Amino acid sequence: MDYYKNYAVKYGRPVADAVADRYGDADSLVRSGNPIIDHMLMHRSIRRFTSDPVAEGDVRTAIAAAQSAATSSNLQSWSVIKVSDPSHKQEVNRLCGNQGQIDDAPLMLVWLADQSRNYAIGEAYDTQLEAFDYLESTMLGMVDTCIAAQNAALAFEALGYGTCFIGAVRNNAEALAALLQLPARCVPVIGLAVGRPHPRHDSDIKPRLSQDIVVHDEVYRVAEGQEITAYDRVMTEFQGKQGMAPHGWSGAVAVRLGTRSALHGRDRYMEFLRVAYMGTR
């Protein structure tokens, strides 16, 4: 069964009710019925997978979707490494904090901001390569990588797989770069665990902030306290159903951003970028 096309079968409700799950209430202005939009509205992270391998043809299809994404000036400043060998994936997972979803997934993709190809081309043309010294070139690679990875995730889900993005590839970025034998100016940005959703996975659609908070007409409007409090109530209820600590949203934000240790090594990522990606000495 294609999990993402059978929301109604699993929950006994119309696909449009995914919108109510997303916002904690129905939104009559959000249009459903379009298969592409419904597909995106039904996204949820999957953290339990079957042992079924990801077919190579499906991987190539998802990468084709990734390469169909927009890319700044057609520089195509990204690459991706497939990790499916169990022992190799275990080593990658060790550097990512030994996460259950990585261990469970038959495929782990490590998405890389990759300026190594373009830098080599610049050297071959005997140019000064001044643009690489600026934050813009760093941002360009990061943005292109994330756009491509999101396209691939949507493609995998359309093929019946579940996905979970893994920020922990930045926890020990220098060690992971060495393990993956990355060249200079090529760095890990995000991981993606991929596999068939386990029949007993317990991931539901996670509520998001109201559009009234994140969408601004003409100029920025600071959210009022009661708007955040209302979302906290929605998230607390969701967390309880999922067996999570009932921090609400603002409490979880405070925990996640409260200490340097909460970054799990990612506080060193900027220094890693300066050396490995920007070439700063």
| Range ranked top by mean pLDDT from 7-21, 60-74, 199-213, 247-261 | 60-74
d(CA 281, CA 274): 8
- Tokens 């409007």 -> residue: 221
The Cα 93–Cα 164 span in angstroms is 14
DSSP 49: B
**CA nearest to 166, candidates 100, 229, 106:** 100
Contacts of 62 (CB under 8 A, 6+ apart): 152, 153, 155, 156, 159
Where helices occur in 24-134 by DSSP H, the ranges are 35-41, 56-67, 86-95, 100-104, 116-124
At 11, the pLDDT band (50, 70, 90 cuts) reads very low
- Map out the domains of the chain as residue ranges: 1-42, 45-204, 206-260
Which residues contact residue 162 at a Cβ distance below 8 angstroms, ignoring those fewer than 6 apart?
3, 45, 46, 49, 156, 194, 195, 196, 197, 201, 203
280 pLDDT band, cuts 50/70/90, is low
The pLDDT of residue 13: 53
Quick: pLDDT tens for 202-246. Answer: 778 899 999 999 999 999 999 999 999 999 999 999 888 888 888
Predicted confidence (pLDDT) at residue 22 exceeds the cutoff of 90: no
CATH code for the domain defined by 45-204: 3.40.109.10
CA distance 208 to 22: 6
Return the pLDDT at 253. Answer: 92
Considering the chain, what is the average pLDDT of its residues? 90
Q: How far apart are CA 17 and CA 79, in angstroms?
A: 37
Tell me, what's the pLDDT at 133?
83
Please give the Cα distance from 52 to 152 (Å, whole number). Answer: 19
Residues 135-158: tens digit of each pLDDT: 899 999 999 999 999 999 999 999
pLDDT confidence bin for 178, thresholds 50/70/90: very high
Inform me whether the pLDDT recorded for 131 exceeds 60: yes
Whole-number pLDDT of residue 26? 66
User: What is the C-alpha separation between 180 and 92, in angstroms, rounded?
Assistant: 9
Q: How confident is the model at residue 90 (pLDDT cuts 50, 70, 90)?
A: very high
> Which residues are 113's β-sheet partners?
78, 187
Is 54 in contact with 153 (CB distance < 8 Å)? no
Q: Output b/e per residue, 181-209; b: 16+ Cβ within 10 A.
A: ebeebbbbbbbbbbbbbbeebebebebbb
268 or 10, greater pLDDT: 268
- Contact status, residue 15 vs residue 39, Cβ threshold 8 Å: no
Q: Token digits for 264?
A: 């799990």
